[in-house]
A and B are shown apart, each in its own frame.
Chain A
Amino acid sequence: MEIEITERDAVTVVAIKGSVDSLNADELTSAFAKPIKAGRVRMVADFSAVTYTSSAGLRSLLATVKDCRRGGGDLRIAALQPQVERVLSISGFTGIIKIFPDREGAVGSFKAVA
């Protein structure tokens, strides 16, 4: 798994590449936690290059969305691949986390309410 973090105005974009599993999910959770600790609680997880996630990845997303909302922000997901979207749907996450077709839409959704 590779993680790239960029800032887009008031939004932190965390772009993930590869598989998120029980061996590397802690790394993802840490990547999400750094901006939150700095008060940046508007986040987009770009999943366009994520081919697989297990429950370890889902736990990371759920913990992060809780932290962001507690701080007055949100975690939104962009560009899910079909297999990953299926796992999120089965797990009930598509009703919990806002999902957008692409990164631009997810980033722009924060501006719409700013």
Chain B
Amino acid sequence: MSEHHQLADQARASCLAEPACLERLLALLDRYCAAHAVDAQCRHDLRLVVEEACANVIAHAYPADAPGLMSLQVESTRCDGRPAMRITIEDAGIPFDPLALPVPVRTGPVEHLPIGGLGVHLIRRLSDLQRYEHDLERGNVLTLTKFLAPASPASRTS
């Protein structure tokens, strides 16, 4: 179990779990990362894990003709004493733990390789901590933590 200490600010957005929602959620993440001077590689990785997690919700959480709400929360935090970004994605759809999916096979003849399952693999590899819970009030709650590189001495003193 990791210890989180929430810092001052967070950003949150909710919308219907539809493809058009994804751009809005990614824009929220981009603005938050820019405001917190997150370095380019962490921004890339955070964008990718948020896209993958949100795309899963959009595709699978609700019936296609009846999308429900989903939300994204981004917060600057400290986890085990290290600066980190914590991403929380919630939906009230079908209970589903994406972290229970097996790691996709990537060896053997290309003809036999499955096309799916890569998104969760990337989430696991490009974030540092992952946690799923199903809450009776909040529904599916996926929490992803990405450690940030420590600030350089120059930026700490500026």
Partners in one complex: yes
Q: A residues engaging B (CB < 8 A)?
A: 21-23, 52, 54-56, 58-59, 62-63, 65-66, 69-70, 83, 87, 90-93, 95-96
Q: Which residues of B contact A56 (CB under 8 A)?
A: 55
B116 at the interface (CB under 8 A from A): yes
What is the predominant secondary structure among interface residues of chain A facing chain B?
helix
Known: A91-B106, A95-B106, A96-B110. A52 touches B47 (CB 8 A): yes
**Is the interface on chain B under 10, 10 to 19, 20 to 34, or 35 or more residues?**
20 to 34
CB distance from A73 to the nearest CB of B (A): 13
Q: Which 5 A-B pairs have the closest CB atoms?
A: A92-B106, A55-B118, A55-B119, A22-B55, A90-B125
B63 at the interface (CB under 8 A from A): no
Q: A54-B51, A83-B41 are in contact. List 6 more A-B contacts (CB 8 A).
A: A23-B23, A55-B122, A56-B55, A65-B110, A66-B111, A87-B48
B69 at the interface (CB under 8 A from A): no
Choose among A23, A58, A69, A95 the residue that contacts B118 (Cβ–Cβ < 8 A).
Answer: A58
Q: Are B111 and A70 in contact (CB under 8 A)?
A: yes
Q: Are A83 and B44 in contact (CB under 8 A)?
A: yes
CB distance from A88 to the nearest CB of B (A): 11
Known: A62-B115, A63-B115, A91-B118. A55 touches B106 (CB 8 A): no
B118-141, CB < 8 A from A:
118-119, 121-122, 125-126
Residue among B48, B118, B125 with max Cβ neighbours from chain A (10 Å):
B118
Q: Which residues of B contact A58 (CB under 8 A)?
A: 118
Q: Are B48 and A22 in contact (CB under 8 A)?
A: no
B40-94, CB < 8 A from A:
41, 44, 47-48, 51-52, 55, 58
CB distance from A72 to the nearest CB of B (A): 13
